[in-house]
Amino acid sequence: MSDSLGIKVRSLICSVVLCVVVWLASLAAAAQGYPAPKEADWVARDFRFHTGEVLPELRLHYRTLGDPSGEPVLILHGTTGSGAGMLTPGFAGELFGAGQPLDAAKYYIILPDAIGHGKSAKPSDGLRAKFPAYNYDDIVLAQYKLLSEGLGIRHLRLVLGHSMGGMHAWMWGVKYPDIIDALVPMASQPTEMSSRNWMMRRLIIDSIRNDPEWENGNYAKQPRSARVASVFYGIATNGGTLALQKMAPTREAADKLLNDRLAAFSHTTFAQ
């Protein structure tokens, strides 16, 4: 199979998978009693990053639930996630349904994909290492522009975020306190990233940057170190010690669990 044909086949497979995921999400939403999310893109023109660099067009993807006439609520996802990741039975299923705390019949719920995440603009779209260096300030500014310029929202009933999204929520409270009624930062603290959290991220970043296949971000294929780094991140941040002990009580079971996750990462990420 030629490279071009292989790319087309993989793109077709990814499109089919994406359609299935969206369809399943719609079914899940209906089953949970809240309206199916609507998806859209908005483009921020001449977006200036904290470095002074400017992108003529910065694509921001987002999902909404409920009617725009409802009280606006901003929901922010965590590292490596997207707005879709907040539409789970354990989260959306407990909040957005009829009579629940953030009933989508009353509130207008906005779930943006942060810069570098989900379907929003990211280095892998084509610019790679030439994509402007971005930080949390840039992500929050982009979210603000999406709401104020893209959706015409001037006031928020609530900003709720988890993990990295929680950090963004804190920043919303500092940067735009006059347009927010309440903040709910989850699994985060209003301090600089440090301690084990930062050390773990440094190890992951350095392991990829030190891989010759990385080529300073201009790699022709996914560097093999990315697979190990990604699976390490997942184990280090999700699952819990007791849950992992239950799933892998022996060395053989632990090796199998790890090998399965490494293989799954190869099949899903490296094949795209």
Q: Which helix (H) or strand (E) holds 76?
A: strand 71-76
247 and 228, same structural domain? Answer: yes
Task: Tell me what pLDDT residue 238 has.
Answer: 84
Q: Per DSSP, what are the bridge partners of residue 126?
A: none
For residue 38, count other CB atoms closer than 10 A to its CB: 10
55 and 138, same structural domain? Answer: yes
Q: Using the Cα atoms of residue 147, residue 136, residue 132 and residue 200 in order, give the sign of their dihedral.
A: negative
Task: Tell me what pLDDT residue 6 has.
Answer: 39
- 3-state helix, strand and coil shares in percent for the chain, rounded to the nearest 5: 50, 15, 35
Task: Tell me what pLDDT residue 31 has.
Answer: 52
Q: Take residue 9 and report the two structure tokens written for it.
A: 């086949």
83 and 54, same structural domain? Answer: yes
**SS3 call for 41:** strand
180 and 89, same structural domain? Answer: yes
Rounded to whole angstroms, how far apart are CA atoms 205 and 189?
A: 22
272 residues of the chain, pLDDT tens digit each? 333 333 333 333 334 334 434 444 554 555 568 999 999 999 999 999 999 999 999 999 999 999 999 999 999 999 999 999 999 999 999 999 999 999 999 999 999 999 999 999 999 999 999 999 999 999 999 999 999 999 999 999 999 999 999 999 999 999 999 999 999 999 999 999 899 989 999 999 999 999 999 999 998 888 999 999 999 999 988 888 999 999 999 999 999 999 999 999 865 554 33
26 and 1, same structural domain? Answer: yes
| pTM of the predicted structure, to 2 decimals | 0.83
Rounded to whole angstroms, how far apart are CA atoms 108 and 35?
A: 11
Task: Tell me what pLDDT residue 18 has.
Answer: 41
171 and 45, same structural domain? Answer: yes
Task: Tell me what pLDDT residue 14 has.
Answer: 38
59 and 155, same structural domain? Answer: yes
Q: Are strands 107-112 and 71-76 parallel, antiparallel or unpaired?
A: parallel
Domain termination site, one of 144, 160, 186: 186
207 and 168, same structural domain? Answer: no
The total number of structural domains that make up the chain? 3
Task: Tell me what pLDDT residue 149 has.
Answer: 98
141 and 69, same structural domain? Answer: yes
Domain that holds residue 17: 1-32
56 and 25, same structural domain? Answer: no
128 and 160, same structural domain? Answer: yes
Task: Tell me what pLDDT residue 221 has.
Answer: 87
168 and 45, same structural domain? Answer: yes
